[in-house]
Each structure stands twice: as structure tokens, then as C-alpha cells.
């Protein structure tokens, strides 16, 4: 006798006692269902986070931030010019490591559209590279160009939400706003580009689903453009962007005031760059570090903002979620395994005579062992597959009752692990009953009533 005939016998036993077998499997079914649901939920959350991070610039985005100079060097701090355009220019000297550089200066301003509203905004002056560094996406028109920068052109790229605030009564396409003139602190600027509307993946899906239900007015019923949604999320800084060339911002709004340094020495509000190759992340950071040591005259007054810490925090929190979910599923599987062992013991007590007959016609102890083990394994495996179905149903119900932040993702590995665990539970819980059955004395078993 081999495994296969053992499995056939097991299957026949299960078919003979469908309801009992189902009850036996129930613990495993629930265990696998919760295991699968837990995997799918955390995978969904992870996918949502990855997506969000990608939209925020990805792991490649690194910010140069300020750092308090330590006390023993405090007297030297004044020597450093701080974060200036000189840093940005220097970073451009590392094209093999740093692919894009985006210095930013910001100034609060009043925006006014002659044919629309007047709103206040934070205007950002930057370089064309900002498009890539901040992972902006142009919905209509263009982003800034080197020519804009060189000329100090009065051009502006607007975020989707800002367009909605300036022209709240217009619901045209993004392209309709191109070429219009707005004033920023009373100076005329031409709108050359509109950014795409940024939203989280699940928000987008929800809107799309709503749009399918009520085709035409849906976009506006949801609050028109993003500005009306009233919700500030992590993308609002992107959606409310007002972007002009750095040189324009400096010359129009900063210079001319007393004590204004030349542009190259002007302080930047932000300095971000993009690492060309993530494999050489550390190498890039140390190259940038030695570069900045030059521009900062040896003063250690800068630091790097990377997404790695954020990524690690995310991983840790995911792991703890998985651990607690796995614990619950594990307890359920354990209970399921005990249930299988219990039923198998009862079942062999019921079948002592059958086992005696099998022994009499030539079954070896290991054949009987294998038969019982195969039966419990099949129960575990079938329970695992039914549990997969139950898990999918559970996720569906969960999505209906409480809409999830991130839609669950069922990964093939989660399916394999869940069914694998169920099978393992089947094998383990069959070991003792199988051993008991294999120790039966054929004579006593044949006489058993």
C-alpha cells in the first residue's frame, strides 16, 4: 500500500461521513480563513503604503535638512552659509550618483484670477527637476523648463486643488485653464501647466465606482474637483502646489529688500534630490556628505531626510499586525487540530474491527499508520481549501460592512502558506491516532464488538 491508496481510503471515509467530516474540519476552515484574511489585509495595507510612498517621491527621494550644530562647535556655526543654492549647484556635480536636484524657496502670496477668486497660497520656486523628485504628474500643459529658469519667466504650474479654488464655478477639463493669466502678489503670471489630482488608490477607486453608478454628475456630486472634498490628506501639499521658476520667485518677491544676499547665497527652504541607483544609496549619501562639507565650510549643520526610517516603521507595524493576526489564526488552527485528533481517535475506536480485518489480510502496522495519517491529512487539506473559500467570503463581507482603507490583496504565497499550515495540522493531529491504530493487536481487534 502506498500513500495514494491511503489517500483514497481517507477520501472514502470523508465521503461516508460528510457532515461529521465537515464539523471536524471547521476549526481548520476558520483558522485558514482568518490566516488568509490576515495576510490579505496586511498585504493590502502594505500595497497602499508602497503606492503612497511612490507618489511622494519613493525611496530615492532624499531631503537635505538642517541640524543643530553640537555645542562644542557652536562658535563655528556662523561660518556656514547654510542651505543655499550653492549646495544645489554642487549636487549637480555628481550626475552619476544624483539624478535630479530640486532646490525650493517658498513665499506666502495672494493669488488672484481676474475671472475667478482671490486666494492665499504658498508659492514655491524651484527647478525643472522638481517634476521628477516630487513625482509630480502633469495633467495638462507642461512643467517648468530650463529656459523659464534662465529668463526668470512669469509662468506658473498649478495643483489641481488650487485650480478648483481659483475658479470654483468652472468644471472644464484641465486644459481649459492653460494660458490664463493670474496675479501673484499683483504680478501677472501665465498658467502653463496643471498637475494631476493626487489621491490615494482607494479614494480613486471609490470615486470611480461612484462615477459608474451615476455617470455624468458624479465628479461634481463628490464635491467637484478635489478642492471641494474638504479632506486634507497627505497629498494636499501636492494638490495645492503653486510652482514658479526659482529665479522668478527670487527676483520678483525676494530681491530688492534690504540685506538680500545674491541668489547663489540665498537660503533655500527645501533641498531635495533623487538618488540615481538605490543599490548605491549609502555611497551616494556619503558622496553628497563630503560635497556639502565643502559648501558648508566644514560645519556639520546638515542632515538627510530619507524614507528608509518611514519604511522601517511601516514594516515593523505590519509585522506586529501579522503577528497578532497570525496568533489568532494559529490558535484556531490548533483547536482545529485537536478536533481532528479527537475525531480520528473516535473514528478508529469505531473501526477497530475493520482495522483488525485489514491486519488479518496482510496490512502491516505501517500500512494502518499510513491509512489513518492519510485520512487526517486529507481532512486538513480539504479544510484548508474550504478555508480559502471562507477567507475570500470573509474579506468580501468585511469590505461590505466596513469599507477598508486599503483593499485586501490575496498573494499566492499567502494561499500556499495557509493551505500548507492546514495540511501540516492534519498531519500532526493524525500522528497520535495513527500510532494508536497501528499498535492494535489483530486478534483482539478481530474479536472486538
Partner 1 sequence: MRKTPDPAAAVDLREVHKIYGTGPDPVAALDGVSLRIDPGEFVAITGTSGSGKSTLMHLVGCLDTPTSGRVTVAGEDISTAGSDRLARLRNRSIGFVFQAFNLLPRLDVQSNIELPLVYAGIPRRERRQRALDAAAKVNLTDRLTHRPSQLSGGQCQRVAVARALVNDPALILADEPTGNLDTANGADVLRLLADLHRSGRTIVLVTHDPAVAARAARIVEMCDGRIVKDTAT
187 binds partner 1 (CB under 8 A): no
- 63, 271 in Cβ contact below 8 A? yes
Subset of residues 430 to 449 that bind partner 1, contact rule: CB under 8 A: 442-443, 446
CA distance 227 to 204: 15
Piece of the chain touching partner 1 by CB under 8 A; list 5-13, 29-37, 254-262, 336-344:
5-13
The site for partner 1, by CB under 8 A, has a size of 23
Distances from the Cα of 178 to the Cα of 39, 127, 168, angstroms:
46, 20, 16
User: Cα separations (Å) of 8 from 375, 384, 431, 443?
Assistant: 9, 18, 18, 26
Task: Determine the Cα–Cα distance for residues 253 and 248; give it in Å rounded to an integer.
Answer: 8
The rounded distance, in Å, linking the Cα atoms of 289 and 166 is 42
CB 328 to partner 1: min, Å:
38
The least CB distance from residue 45 to partner 1, in Å, is 49
Residue 10 is a binding residue for partner 1 (CB under 8 A): no
Q: Looking at 11-19, 38-46, 156-164, 328-336, which segment touches partner 1 (CB under 8 A)?
A: 11-19
CB of 430: closest distance to partner 1 in angstroms?
Answer: 19
Contact window for partner 1 (CB under 8 A) among 115-123, 257-265, 356-364, 386-394: 356-364
| 97 to 136: interface string for partner 1, x by CB under 8 A | ----------------------------------------
Q: Which residue in the set 357, 417, 424, 431 belongs to the binding site for partner 1 (CB under 8 A)?
A: 357
**CA-CA distance, 396 to 403, in Å (whole number)?**
10
Pairing verdict, β 118-126 and 181-184: unpaired
Nearest distance, CB of residue 5 and partner 1, angstroms: 6
- Of 379, 374, 366, give the one whose Cα is nearest residue 440: 366
- Out of 74, 327, 346, 360, the only residue in the binding site for partner 1 (CB under 8 A) is 360
Task: Please give the Cα distance from 352 to 444 (Å, whole number).
Answer: 9
Site string for partner 1, 14-43 (x = CB under 8 A): --x---------------------------
> From the CB of 383, what's the least distance to partner 1, in Å?
22
Among positions 359, 379, 388, 390, the unique one binding partner 1 when judged by CB under 8 A? 359
CB 279, min distance to partner 1, A: 57
In angstroms, give the least distance from the CB of 427 to partner 1: 22
Cell representation of residue 443: 486478534
The set of residues, in sequence order, having a beta carbon less than 8 Å from that of 420 and lying 6+ positions away, is 384
* Strand bridging mode 118-126 / 242-245: parallel
| Residues 315-354: x where in contact with partner 1 by CB under 8 A, - otherwise, as a string | --------------------------------------xx
The owner of cell 502594505 is 46
Q: Is 65 in contact with 302 (CB distance < 8 Å)?
A: yes
Are 44 and 407 in contact by the 8 Å Cβ rule? The answer is yes
Question: What distance lies between CA 445 and its chain's CA centroid?
Answer: 60
Cell numbers placing 356: 483488525
Please state the closest distance from residue 445 (CB atom) to partner 1, in A.
10
Q: Tell me how far, at minimum, the Cβ of 12 lies from partner 1, in Å.
A: 7
User: Which residue ranges make up the site for partner 1 (CB under 8 A)?
Assistant: 1-2, 5, 12-13, 16, 353-354, 356-367, 442-443, 446
Amino acid at each position: 500500500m502506498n500513500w495514494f491508496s491511503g489517500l483514497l481510503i481517507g477520501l472514502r471515509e470523508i465521503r461516508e461521513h460528510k457532515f461529521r467530516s465537515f464539523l471536524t474540519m471547521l476549526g481548520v476552515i476558520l483558522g485558514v480563513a482568518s490566516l488568509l484574511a490576515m495576510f490579505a489585509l496586511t498585504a493590502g495595507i502594505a500595497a497602499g503604503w508602497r503606492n503612497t510612498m511612490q507618489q511622494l517621491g519613493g525611496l530615492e527621494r532624499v531631503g537635505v535638512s538642517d541640524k543643530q550644530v553640537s555645542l562644542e562647535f557652536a562658535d563655528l556655526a556662523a561660518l556656514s552659509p547654510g542651505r543655499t543654492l550653492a549646495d544645489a549647484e554642487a549636487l549637480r556635480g555628481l550626475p552619476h550618483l544624483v539624478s535630479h536636484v530640486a532646490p525650493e524657496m517658498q513665499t506666502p502670496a495672494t493669488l488672484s484670477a481676474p475671472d475667478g477668486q482671490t486666494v492665499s497660497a504658498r508659492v514655491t520656486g524651484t527647478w525643472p527637476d522638481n517634476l521628477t523628485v516630487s513625482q509630480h504628474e502633469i495633467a495638462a500643459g507642461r512643467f517648468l523648463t530650463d529656459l523659464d529658469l534662465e529668463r526668470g519667466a512669469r509662468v506658473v504650474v498649478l495643483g489641481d486643488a488650487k485650480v478648483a479654488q481659483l475658479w470654483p464655478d468652472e468644471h472644464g477639463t484641465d486644459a481649459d485653464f492653460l494660458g490664463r493669466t493670474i496675479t501673484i502678489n499683483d504680478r501677472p503670471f501665465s498658467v502653463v501647466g496643471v498637475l494631476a489630482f493626487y489621491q490615494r488608490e482607494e479614494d480613486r477607486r471609490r470615486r470611480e465606482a461612484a462615477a459608474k453608478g451615476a455617470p455624468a454628475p458624479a465628479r461634481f456630486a463628490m464635491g467637484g474637483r478635489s478642492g471641494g472634498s474638504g479632506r486634507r490628506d497627505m497629498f494636499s501639499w501636492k494638490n495645492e502646489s503653486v510652482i514658479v521658476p526659482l529665479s522668478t520667485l527670487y527676483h520678483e518677491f525676494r530681491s530688492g529688500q534690504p540685506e538680500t544676499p545674491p541668489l547663489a547665497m540665498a537660503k533655500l527652504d527645501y533641498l531635495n534630490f533623487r538618488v540615481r541607483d538605490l543599490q548605491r544609496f549609502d555611497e551616494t549619501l556619503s558622496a553628497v556628505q563630503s560635497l556639502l562639507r565643502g559648501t558648508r565650510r566644514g560645519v556639520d549643520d546638515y542632515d538627510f531626510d530619507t524614507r528608509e526610517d518611514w519604511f522601517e516603521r511601516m514594516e515593523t507595524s505590519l509585522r506586529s499586525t501579522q503577528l497578532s493576526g497570525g496568533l489568532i489564526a494559529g490558535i484556531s488552527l490548533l483547536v482545529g487540530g485537536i478536533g481532528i485528533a479527537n475525531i480520528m481517535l473516535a473514528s478508529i475506536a469505531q473501526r477497530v474491527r475493520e482495522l483488525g480485518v485489514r491486519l488479518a489480510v496482510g496490512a502491516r502496522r505501517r500500512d494502518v499508520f499510513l491509512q489513518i495519517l492519510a485520512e487526517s491529512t486529507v481532512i486538513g487539506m480539504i479544510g484548508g481549501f474550504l478555508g480559502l473559500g471562507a477567507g475570500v467570503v470573509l474579506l468580501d463581507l468585511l469590505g461590505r460592512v466596513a469599507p477598508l482603507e486599503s483593499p485586501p490583496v490575496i498573494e499566492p504565497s499567502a494561499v500556499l502558506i495557509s493551505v500548507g499550515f492546514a495540511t501540516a495540522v492534519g498531519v500532526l493531529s493524525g500522528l497520535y491516532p495513527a500510532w494508536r491504530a497501528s499498535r492494535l493487536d489483530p486478534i483482539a481487534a478481530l474479536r472486538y464488538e
